[in-house]
Homo-oligomer: A and B are copies of this chain.
Amino acid sequence: MAEHDIPRATAKRLPIYYRYLKLLLDAGTTRVSSNELSDAVKFDAATIRRDFSYFGALGKRGYGYDVKALMTFFGEILNQDTLASVALVGVGNLGQALLNFNFHQSSNARISAAFDINEDIVNTIQAGVPVYSLDDLEKQISDQRIDVAILTVPAPVAQDLANRLAKAGVHGILNFTPLRLDVPSDVRVQNVDLTNELQTLLYFINNFGGAEA
C-alpha cells in the first residue's frame, strides 16, 4: 500500500480534485494545467502539483494534465467503482435533509438504511430509504455490511450510539453531533460541527477582515 505516505491534507483535497475533473470532462475539456485547476479549486498551483506528484508523474511538462486519464486515476484511488453503503442514524430535521441530499449522485456512497426511535416513521420509506427501529441497528449493519454511519442524533444519546455502531462493526462515523466522540482506534470519526463552523466564521469576521478561513 504505497498510499500510506500521502499527507492527510492531500487526501482531503482528492475528492475536490475528482469532482472538478468530472466537471471538466463533462464540459468536453481534454487538458488542464495546475494553474487552471488552481483558479477553480482555490488551492495554490504548487500545492496541486505536489499533491499529484505523490501518486507519480501524472502530467506532461509544458502541456499539463490529461483530464480523462487523471480522472480515471483518481477515480480508482477514491474507489469510485465500489458503492459504499451508509447508515443514517437519527432521522430528524438534519437527517431528513441528508436523506434527500443524494450523496450517490456525486459520490460512491449511498444511504441504504436509516434508523430512528420515532414510531411514526419506523418501518416507512423516506426518500427511498427504509427506516428501521434503533433496536435493529446491529442486525441491519451486519446484514447489509454497512461500514459507515452518519450520526445525526441528539447529543445526549450520541456517545451511546457511537459505542453501538463501533461494536456493530462500523469503521467510520460522520458525526454531526457537537460531541467529540470516544471510539476504538479502528473507527474513524469525521466531525461536521455546524455551530462551530458558523461561530468560527463569526469570530474571523469580527476580528479580522476577509479571506478563506
Contact = CB atoms under 8 A, between A and B. Distances in A.
A94 B203 CA distance: 24
Interface in A156-208: 171-172, 174, 178, 180, 183-190, 192-208
B187 A210 contact: yes
Nearest to A196: B15
A190 B212 CA distance: 7
B97 A207 contact: no
A86 B198 CA distance: 10
Given A1-B207, A171-B210, A188-B210, A202 B97 contact: no
Contact of A148 (B93, B202, B208): B202
A35 B103 CA distance: 38
A19 interface: yes
Interface in A80-98: 84, 86, 93-94, 96-98
Copies of this protein in the complex: 2
A210 B186 contact: yes
Contacts of A193: 16
A109 B186 contact: no
A50 interface: no
A112 interface: no
18 contacts: A12-B196, A15-B195, A15-B196, A15-B200, A16-B193, A19-B178, A41-B180, A42-B180, A79-B202, A101-B194, A107-B195, A108-B199, A109-B199, A172-B204, A183-B210, A185-B209, A187-B210, A190-B201
A46 to B, nearest CB: 17
Given A94-B101, A97-B96, A213-B189, A174 B197 contact: yes
A181 to B, nearest CB: 8
A27 interface: no
A57 interface: no
Contacts of A212: 188-189
A81 to B, nearest CB: 12
Interface in A27-42: 40-42
B210 A200 contact: no
